[in-house]
Amino acid sequence: MSSIGDVVIEFEHVVKTFHPSGAPAVRAVDDISFQIRAGETVGLIGESGSGKSTTGRLLLGLERHDSGVIRYRGRSVDEMDVAERRRMRTDVQVVFQEPYESLNPRLRIGDIVAEPLVVRGLGDRTERRKRVAERLERVGLAASVMSRFPGELSGGQQQRVGIARAIVADPRVLVLDEPTASLDRTIRAQVADVLTQLQTELGLGYLLITHDMGTVRRVADRALVMLAGRIVEDGPVEQVMNNPQADYSRLLIGSELKPYPPALENRGDLR
């Protein structure tokens, strides 16, 4: 893990309620408070419908909170002017769950990764190409993939492209929305290692939204357990995973699938 620095994101008593037509109001996020520091990975875990994705969307500015305060580098997002909001949109990026669905199949990889630079008017064509090649190499892909299309890559390679696109404009925070869910176990571990290495090199803060306890154990510094829009447990990842205090945390973590037999290295046990 990288060294942990100053607070970059802060949620303070944040509430978000949805009002579906013809149905009762749903409080998807119910008075939650937490922080993300530079170089820190906060794992947000809970079952489907617990409010994890809504929390991520609030952080990305895709939803507006009803009450409470969301701060970026000490500044309330409600008090930001247009320029500050634009800066935050550059500084907070997302890596999606399904890599292929998040990549335009008609664009070459070089154009996909360069898109955030083009949208923000950063660099000329030569500078953008150089930066794209460097970011691809950082995530373990050769610069030669720039000329290929997403359909020519494996799922793990596609997710690495998604990560390269997320970091190309030098963000400070990444929202990782189930980034390894669609990958097999071996590739999942490789992608987790890429994320850890990038954090060490760039000092990024991560909000890791996931059902995958193994990835939380592997990369997170802190774990938040969410139930029905509320955070029911918050602590160092080792404490939450190995000695959960809340009843729901114990049920959730206890439901984690583990390999069987537990020790396949000793082949003598299988004879």
| 128-142 residue pLDDT tens | 999 999 999 999 999
Predicted confidence at residue 183, as pLDDT, reads 77
pTM, to two decimals: 0.89
Residues 6+ away with beta carbon under 8 Å from 209: 44, 52, 53, 55, 56, 175, 176, 177, 178
Among residues 142, 219, 144, the alpha carbon closest in space to that of 179 is found at: 219
| 238-263 residue pLDDT tens | 999 999 999 999 999 887 656 555 54
Amino acid letter for position 227: L
Amino acid letter for position 228: A
Domain ranges of the chain: 7-254
Among residues 24, 14, 8, the alpha carbon closest in space to that of 230 is found at: 14
Here the tokens at position 156 are 């793990």
| 7-32 residue pLDDT tens | 999 999 999 999 998 889 999 999 99
Question: Sheet harboring 173-177: ordered strands across?
Answer: 92-95, 173-177, 205-210, 41-45, 222-227, 230-236
Share of residues in the chain with pLDDT > 70 (%): 93
Q: Does domain 7-254 have CATH number 3.10.310.30?
A: no
Predicted confidence at residue 260, as pLDDT, reads 54
User: Using only C-alpha atoms, what is the Rg of the chain?
Assistant: 19
| 202-234 residue pLDDT tens | 999 999 999 888 889 989 999 999 999 999 999
Cis previous bond, 259, omega within 30: no
45 pLDDT higher than 50: yes
6 vs 214, more confident: 6
Among residues 44, 101, 4, 18, the alpha carbon closest in space to that of 240 is found at: 44
| 68-85 residue pLDDT tens | 999 999 999 999 999 999
Range from 59-63, 174-178, 195-199, 210-214 carrying the lowest mean pLDDT: 210-214
185 pLDDT higher than 90: no
